[in-house]
Amino acid sequence: MNVELTSVSSSNVAAVGYDVENETVYVQFLNGSEYIYKGVPQHDFDGLLNAPSVGSYLHRNFKNVYPYERTS
């Protein structure tokens, strides 16, 4: 993965990153697991990055909306 991750202030999420070309969001959790979400438009990633609660935003707007897979 050559996407730069940005640290976020969250009780669950450590960092997030976005691959504009592939519309893929990378999420690194504090427990060490990493996931990618596919087909995510830029505005949804921006919303995630600027959300008051990154974990809540992720759960509400990404989970069961975009296909995802655990990468580690």
Per-residue pLDDT of the chain (72 residues; tens, 9 = 90+): 579 999 999 999 999 999 999 999 999 999 999 999 999 999 999 999 999 999 999 999 999 999 999 998
Q: Domain locations in the chain?
A: 6-70
| DSSP at 61 | H
Which residues on adjacent β-strands are paired with residue 35? 27, 70
Backbone angles phi, psi at 14, to 5 degrees: -90, -45
